[in-house]
Structure 1
Amino acid sequence: MTTPANRWRDTPNRYGLVSRLLHWLTAAQVILLFGVLLAWKGFGEHPVTLLLARIGPHGSLGAMLLVTTLLRAIWAYRQRHHRPPRPPGLGGLLARCMHLAFYALLILIPAMAILRQYGRGGPLIFYGKELMPEAEREIAWMMAPADLLHSTLAWLLLALIVGHVAMALAHRLWLKDGILARMLGNPSPQQDT
């Protein structure tokens, strides 16, 4: 039987409320980041793009995504012995590698952008509040990694997301193994303990 306290934590049959909230918060932040970016690329300066940019300034969302991902990684580590098991074999290994790649990209991409912002001599601003003052001068080595990789890694992240969604749908529609239900909060047919 699931108790109210157990709803927060992961169990072998389902992901707990904290894991699910962090997962869907990450998804919302990434969708907004790419939504704003694609809107600017597609429409340029337009009332809709300006509204999206006010709701989700790219730098602020990136910093928030970094914090969310770090919290998510800490929570996943603390829950590692309680979580639903990965499928056995190659499928489980691929799922584990995919999730590790997600964490790596969701940390590296915004961290490099923050480093670049500081290296350019600009302050780190979070929804209008200055979190880190500007540097006194440009620092080339801080800008180089993001200049080289930020965009490429972001598109790689988007490709992984498309694959992740496709596999979630495959588990739901073809394999019917309950994996997606565990992230939606519906435990598997076995009883929670």
Structure 2
Amino acid sequence: MTTPANRWRDTPDRYGLISRLLHWLTAAQVILLFGVLLAWKGFGEHPVTLLLARIGPHGSLGAMLLVTTLLRAIWAYRQRHHRPPRPPGVGGLLARSVHLAFYTLLILIPALAILRQYGRGGHLIFYGMELLPEAEREIAWMMAPADLLHSPLAWLLLALIAGHVAMALAHRLWLKDGILARMLGSPQATRDT
């Protein structure tokens, strides 16, 4: 039986409200980040891209994504004994590995970008607030890792997301095993049909 207190926390049957909120907030931030990026690549400076960039400046969204992911990782660690179990065998190992890769990429990609921004001598602005002041000079070793890895890791993240969505749909439509229902807040006990 779900009480108001345990709706917030994870249980063996489903993810709690906090886990689900952090998951979907992360998804929205990533969609907006890639949406702004792809709009700029496709349309250049256009009224729609300028509007998207005002709503979600790439640097501000990246910093927000880093904070959200750190909160999500802390919450997941605190809930680790209460969460729904992973599937057994290779499927469970694969799911665990992909989720670990998500956390790693969602922390590493914005952290590298922040390091590069500071290394360029620029300040870090979060929706108009200065979080880090300008450096007095360029620092090449701070820029090099992000110049090398930021974009390829972001595309790797997008590929993992596509696989994640495909597997969620496969669990819902073909396997009908209740996995997706747990992230939507429904108990696993009722099969996801």
Identify the TM-score tier after normalising by the shorter chain: over 0.9
CA distance in 2: counterparts of 1:143 and 1:117, whole angstroms: 7
SS in 1 for 2:187: coil
Percent identity of the aligned residues? 91
Runs of 4+ aligned residues of structure 1 deviating over 6 Å after TM superposition are 190-193
Deviations 1:70-105 (A, max 9, x none): 000000000000000000000000000000000000
Q: CA deviation at 1:189?
A: 2.2
Q: How many residues align?
A: 193
Deviations 1:89-144 (A, max 9, x none): 00000000000000000000000000000000000000011111000110000000
SS in 2 for 1:75: helix
CA distance in 1: counterparts of 2:56 and 2:27, whole angstroms: 14
* Alignment check: 8 A CA contact 2:172 2:192 kept: no
* Alignment check: 8 A CA contact 1:13 1:191 kept: no
Distance 1:157 1:17, change over 3 A: same
Distance 1:136 1:166, change over 3 A: same
Deviations 1:37-67 (A, max 9, x none): 0000000000000000000000000000000
SS in 1 for 2:125: strand
SS in 1 for 2:146: helix
CA distance in 2: counterparts of 1:190 and 1:42, whole angstroms: 44
Distance 1:168 1:190, change over 3 A: closer
Q: CA deviation at 1:191?
A: 12
* Alignment check: 8 A CA contact 2:178 2:190 kept: no
Paired position in structure 1 for 2:150:
150
Paired position in structure 2 for 1:90:
90
Q: TM-score, normalised by structure 1?
A: 0.98
Q: CA deviation at 1:188?
A: 1.6
CA distance in 1: counterparts of 2:94 and 2:51, whole angstroms: 39
* Alignment check: 8 A CA contact 2:181 2:192 kept: no
Q: Flag structure 2 segments of 5+ consecutive residues without an equivalent.
A: none
* Alignment check: 8 A CA contact 1:2 1:192 kept: no
SS in 1 for 2:115: helix
CA distance in 1: counterparts of 2:171 and 2:191, whole angstroms: 21
CA distance in 2: counterparts of 1:86 and 1:78, whole angstroms: 17
Q: Flag structure 1 segments of 5+ consecutive residues without an equivalent.
A: none
CA distance in 2: counterparts of 1:171 and 1:189, whole angstroms: 15
* Alignment check: 8 A CA contact 1:117 1:143 kept: yes
Q: CA RMSD in A?
A: 2.2
Distance 1:21 1:55, change over 3 A: same
* Alignment check: 8 A CA contact 1:11 1:192 kept: no
